[in-house]
Amino acid sequence: MTALTREVRTLWRGPLTAPESKLPRRTLVTETVLVLLLSLGASAIYSILSIIRMLQSTTALNHQTSSLNNSQATQSWLDLTYQLVGIGLGVVPALLAIHLLGREIRRPAAYLGIDRSRPGHDIAWGLGTALVIGIPGLVLYVVARDLGFNTTVVAADLGSHWWAAPVLLLSAAQNAIAEEVVMVGYLFTRWSQAGWRLPAIIVCSAVIRGSYHLYQGFGGFAGNIVMGLILATVYLRTRRVLPLIITHAVLDSVAFVGYALLHDHVGWLQ
């Protein structure tokens, strides 16, 4: 057993300390269910329905497409407005999660590690983790699609507007903030307060993460479960959500902007 494997097992077995809550266990779990159903849990339900619909089609899964960051209007200014409103509203679940924790935890953002106290540490962990996840994730996508387990993902379809690249970067940041604050910072805290064992917290969060990517196919499902497990391990090591946000934002930024720039020139992106 390698030193890294031993460290990961130790992190998973160790307790996840969270401030004691005065709320009953049932209330804590109910709160997390409601937050999920207002955000990423609802996305998971729709993604499950989406994969069922796609499997009912006579067209092979890898000949179907999943589109992200689509244009919403023919007029440039209206399309831009749609994009910005969607990005702004997409951050609300994270703000709600922080607000709910703030009822019992003083300075909840700082508790979650979303502050400027350790910028170098956060950037190093974020970029390093992005490298660990990014290249294997790309290989998994290509292999899964070629084997028929995944759709072809259209990561950006905003046209050639001057604002397309900045909007894609903002969209990447929005995804990162919403997912990492809710799926890791908030859920790990609340489920720990509810008395859940750490392995159950990690696995449940990772499976939900994979589920709301099922619209991409089974490759997206499996890849995001693995991503969730890796990010959970980083969180347990650092006890900070900001490195996870940086990791996720970098991965999505490269995927979104890279696709927009290269999809007409790279065969396997088409």
Q: pLDDT by residue (tens digit) across 236-252?
A: 999 999 999 999 999 99
Token pair 């069922």 in the structure block, residue: 52
Report the pLDDT averaged over residues 131-155. 93
Enumerate the domain spans of the chain.
24-269
pLDDT greater than 90 at residue 209: yes
Quote the CA–CA distance of 91 and 171 in Å, as a whole number. 10
pLDDT band at 8 (very low <50, low <70, confident <90, very high): low
* Window from 2-16, 29-43, 167-181, 212-226 with minimum mean pLDDT: 2-16
Q: What is the pTM of this model?
A: 0.94
Output the pLDDT for position 18.
85
DSSP 168-216: HHHHHHHHHHHHHIIIIIIHHHHHHHTT--HHHHHHHHHHHHHHTTGGG
pLDDT band at 177 (very low <50, low <70, confident <90, very high): very high
Output the pLDDT for position 267.
61
Give the distance from CA 122 to its chain's centroid: 17
pLDDT greater than 70 at residue 189: yes
Q: pLDDT by residue (tens digit) across 16-68?
A: 778 899 999 999 999 999 999 999 999 999 999 999 999 999 999 999 999 99
pLDDT greater than 60 at residue 1: no
- For the record, the structure tokens of 22 come out as 């005065």
Output the pLDDT for position 16.
76
